[in-house]
Structure 1
Amino acid sequence: CRVLKADEGKVSVEFEVDERMTNHFGTLHGGCSATMVDVITTGALAASPRGVPGVSVDLHMTYLAAAKLGDTVQLDAEVIRAGRSMAFTRASLYRKPDMALLATGLHTKVFPVQASVWKQREGEHPLDPLAPSSPSLSSDVNPLFYERMMRFAQMDKQEATFSGRVWNARLTNVEQCKLSAEFVVDQQKIELFGGTLHGGCSTTMVDFLTCAALIAATGRPAVSVNLNTTYLAPAPLGTRVRIHAEVVKHGRSLAYTKADLIRVEDGVPIASAKHTLAFNERVVVREQ
């Protein structure tokens, strides 16, 4: 990013959409937009009189238009209000030079009583990678749809998209309208200040798995309209996380999905999300 302006409680940046930021359609990934909103609104909060980043409580994204590979995007973030215990921020993404509105974000943060910047200890290796295995497959899943979903997932594992850069999940179960997967929180998935699972990473995982569940259910890709994530508990480095994604309802033009992230070791909920998507006949998955 290039910083365009930084005032008290306000930050503006711009960036070019490159391949690392794209989805399977060759446009700016919704998870990338959410991550940028998370990071830049946190920067705006750090630039306010309070001067601390806070911890995410809720991140609500609305997607209005696409940014293609090579487009320049401007992101404006500001602190709407900051109190003793909570702060409310917002952000807007625009495509330059016509300044078409691409997405908006509302980001709520809380100031914990005790907070510290995480530092990894020298020689510390807490990660326990998941062994590869085939998911449990329900008999009610359409084999053709399942094959399409697995191709969708395989592109991410080859790091062809934004979600592929953080993706190391193992699918554990596939049903007609449900998916489950597990992953380990590694260095690529943590936020600087607390050493725990980054909110943008959680949202990206939700985006990917709910899309995969929708393809397994319908055989059709779709684009994001709304994505709301509520953060409930931290997941430190090395934590094993399970995601349950489900297609709640789908029609001719819209689909409603939800997902929950859970710490495997104790069953504590980490995050909960709702993801609305739209089918579009012009949407096609780009070739590898």
Structure 2
Amino acid sequence: MPLSIDQQIPADMLPATQEDKDYFDEVVGGSHFARDFLDVLKPYAFDLVPAVNSRGMRRVDGWKAVYEATVTKDVTNFFGFMHGAAHAWLVDTCTSAAIVQNHAPGFWDGQMLGGVSVNLDMQYFNPASIGTRLRIIVTIERINSTLANLRCDISEWDTGKRISSGVHTKAWRGGKAAAAL
């Protein structure tokens, strides 16, 4: 039997505060794509954001975030299941939001806040119909001053049944290099 959501989310994660939810809405709210999906996508819990180190970066390898969403009709295909592009959009949006949650001055900030996608690879396991409550777990596998390797696992909230998974690679350039792009 799959683990319940409480068994899958570590007890030391911090529940998302209203401030976290407002910041998330501010960051992703500028997107015009999948507007209705943005209304049902919310942060749920985060690992503690580490302090900035002496090099101006954060050590966030292994950092996790949990988001929740509900499948709406607007993101389904002809058969009434969440469209593959909606899965990819969730991976892109949630992994980017995880980076933004951990940015610092001179580290994944500025005009390239959250970086730019280099690669996004998806795997699909099971369909998600309208009304399915989704648990989206993002892991920052590795991040340095220019490259981030991220993973996003999407499953049914209550059962833990895997729906899809994405691996996302993002790049970032700060300072004068960003202005030249």
> Residue 270 of structure 1 aligns with which residue?
163
Seen in structure 2, the aligned counterparts of structure 1 residues 270 and 223 have a Cα distance that, compared at 3 Å, is: same
CA distance in structure 2 between the partners assigned to 1:243 and 1:269 by the alignment:
10
DSSP 3-state at the match of 2:102? helix
1:218 is displaced (CA, Å) by 2.9
Asked if the contact 2:150–2:168 (Cα under 8 Å) also holds between the matched residues in 1, the reply is: yes
Seen in structure 2, the aligned counterparts of structure 1 residues 208 and 255 have a Cα distance that, compared at 3 Å, is: same
Seen in structure 2, the aligned counterparts of structure 1 residues 178 and 283 have a Cα distance that, compared at 3 Å, is: farther
Equivalent residues in 2 for 1:50-61, closer than 5 Å? none
> Residue 254 of structure 1 aligns with which residue?
147
- Alignment-mate amino acid for residue 166 of structure 1: F
Corresponding position: 1:154 with 2:26? yes
1:152 is displaced (CA, Å) by 5.2
**Length, aligned pairs only:** 140
- Alignment-mate amino acid for residue 44 of structure 2: T
Corresponding position: 1:166 with 2:166? no
- Aligned equivalent of 1:136, options 7, 11, 15: 15
Asked if the contact 1:248–1:258 (Cα under 8 Å) also holds between the matched residues in 2, the reply is: yes
CA distance in structure 2 between the partners assigned to 1:275 and 1:155 by the alignment:
19
Any gaps of 5 or more consecutive residues in structure 1? Answer: 1-134, 139-145
> Residue 239 of structure 1 aligns with which residue?
132
1:280 is displaced (CA, Å) by 2.0
1:265 is displaced (CA, Å) by 2.9
CA distance in structure 2 between the partners assigned to 1:196 and 1:236 by the alignment:
4
CA distance in structure 2 between the partners assigned to 1:185 and 1:165 by the alignment:
10
DSSP 3-state at the match of 1:218? coil
Asked if the contact 1:261–1:272 (Cα under 8 Å) also holds between the matched residues in 2, the reply is: yes
Q: Percent identity?
A: 25
CA distance in structure 2 between the partners assigned to 1:163 and 1:280 by the alignment:
27
Asked if the contact 1:153–1:212 (Cα under 8 Å) also holds between the matched residues in 2, the reply is: no
- Aligned equivalent of 1:211, options 96, 116, 136: 96
> Residue 58 of structure 2 aligns with which residue?
none
Bigger CA radius of gyration: 1
CA distance in structure 1 between the partners assigned to 2:90 and 2:178 by the alignment:
21
CA distance in structure 2 between the partners assigned to 1:252 and 1:265 by the alignment:
37
DSSP 3-state at the match of 1:210? helix
CA distance in structure 2 between the partners assigned to 1:202 and 1:283 by the alignment:
29
CA distance in structure 2 between the partners assigned to 1:163 and 1:214 by the alignment:
20
Deviations along 1:215-256, one digit per CA (max 9) or x if unpaired, are 222342200000001000001111111100111101121110
Deviations along 1:10-45, one digit per CA (max 9) or x if unpaired, are xxxxxxxxxxxxxxxxxxxxxxxxxxxxxxxxxxxx
> Residue 63 of structure 1 aligns with which residue?
none
Deviations along 1:112-147, one digit per CA (max 9) or x if unpaired, are xxxxxxxxxxxxxxxxxxxxxxx7159xxxxxxx97
CA distance in structure 1 between the partners assigned to 2:157 and 2:84 by the alignment:
18
Seen in structure 2, the aligned counterparts of structure 1 residues 274 and 242 have a Cα distance that, compared at 3 Å, is: same
1:187 is displaced (CA, Å) by 0.9
Q: CA RMSD in A?
A: 2.5
